[in-house]
Amino acid sequence: MTRTTPHAVEPWPDLPLAAWRDSCATLHMWTQVVGKIRLATAPHVNHWWQVPLYVTPRGLTTSTMHHGKTPFRIDFDFQDHLLRLETSAGASESFPLGAYPVAEFYDRVLTALERLSLEVRIWPHPVEVVEAIPFDEDTAHAAYDPESVRRFWRILLHADRALHEHRSRFLGKASPVHFFWGSFDLALTFFSGRTAPPHPGGVPNLADWVAREAYSHECASAGFWPGNGAPAIDAPAFYAYAYPEPEDYAAAAVRPAEAFYSADMGEYVLPYDAVRRAADPEGMLRDFFSSTYEAAAELGGWDRGALERRSG
């Protein structure tokens, strides 16, 4: 039996967006390629819950997908910096993650699928980004800094744990803790149980009906995002928002003091660096997630007695 020595959990790592902006953009597109394979093979689930990726002890995974009667999955391994494709029959393909363009990554993924007899057709266009270069034409995004990517994954591990703890207190309908490759964020959403007014749409390169399906019911969301694509923040941050936003939500007394409401984003923002430097990062996140949810639920008139675990 092979035995490995356990290591202490790393502290929250430093990862300013400027240090890996190009690598972040490339990885974003790579996750969209893989995510669209899940979209193409998974039965539809409300709020698009069939399409996200999930945090693992090594990176991100699609979890199990099905090509006809063949189960398979795709994993990003951010320890060894590999993409792995595996089937239930024991067949596998892998290739290294490195500084090469999205077009090459796209070709390598499709080739690996073909070798596994898992031909999957996807719409090769990015979503939720302003500059949507088709995957097979994208030679602009070609950066990959392994250490920065590893740090990003370590942050996701911490955030995943904190969001699962937050989810444990809610008894109502709630999403999994999952990584949306369109918006490139780790997210958790609670629902009041009531339908919501139609979402106005307007998300770049995303059909309005897609956004309306995602926001068909009243919700309060929280998560982590590395900061790409929003000049108003331009830094990693935890966030929280409500849809529809209740009256006076933007003026709510949320915790901790470092959190603020961004009118540009329509969300509460807690800078990642404030969490990283805190004496008790987990306690700070607990305050942020709980106080922003409570503001949404209280001001939105949610039935909190039926939706929340009050003890234990």
Residues 106-160: pLDDT tens digits?
999 999 999 999 999 999 999 999 999 999 999 999 999 999 999 999 999 999 9
What pLDDT sits at residue 310? 80
| CA neighbor of 122 nearest in space, from 36, 214, 53 | 36
Strand order in the sheet with 267-271: 178-180, 185-195, 217-225, 237-243, 267-271, 260-262
* Residue 11 covered by a domain: no
Query: What is the span of the domain harbouring residue 113?
Result: 17-137
In this structure, the answer to whether residues 154 and 300 fall within a common structural domain is yes
| Strand 59-61 versus strand 185-195 pairing type | unpaired
Element (H, E) at 102: helix 102-115
Which of 114, 137, 160 finishes a domain?
A: 137
Which positions of the chain have pLDDT values less than 50? none
- What is the domain count for the chain? 2
Which value, in Å, is the radius of gyration of the alpha carbons in the chain? 20
In this structure, the answer to whether residues 152 and 123 fall within a common structural domain is no
Question: 146-167 and 17-41 are packed helices; what angle lies between their axes, rounded to 10 degrees?
Answer: 60
* Residue 130 covered by a domain: yes
In this structure, the answer to whether residues 170 and 244 fall within a common structural domain is yes
In this structure, the answer to whether residues 224 and 132 fall within a common structural domain is no
* Residue 287 covered by a domain: yes
* Residue 183 covered by a domain: yes
Which of 80, 111, 137 finishes a domain?
A: 137
In this structure, the answer to whether residues 186 and 96 fall within a common structural domain is no
In this structure, the answer to whether residues 99 and 180 fall within a common structural domain is no
In this structure, the answer to whether residues 208 and 299 fall within a common structural domain is yes
* Residue 1 covered by a domain: no
Predicted TM-score of the model (pTM) = 0.95
* Residue 36 covered by a domain: yes
In this structure, the answer to whether residues 126 and 155 fall within a common structural domain is no
In this structure, the answer to whether residues 127 and 164 fall within a common structural domain is no
* Residue 5 covered by a domain: no
* Residue 3 covered by a domain: no
In this structure, the answer to whether residues 160 and 280 fall within a common structural domain is yes
In this structure, the answer to whether residues 73 and 176 fall within a common structural domain is no
Q: SS3 of 136, please?
A: helix
In this structure, the answer to whether residues 168 and 224 fall within a common structural domain is yes
> What one-character DSSP code corresponds to residue 172?
S
What pLDDT sits at residue 9? 55
Which of 104, 137, 170 finishes a domain?
A: 137
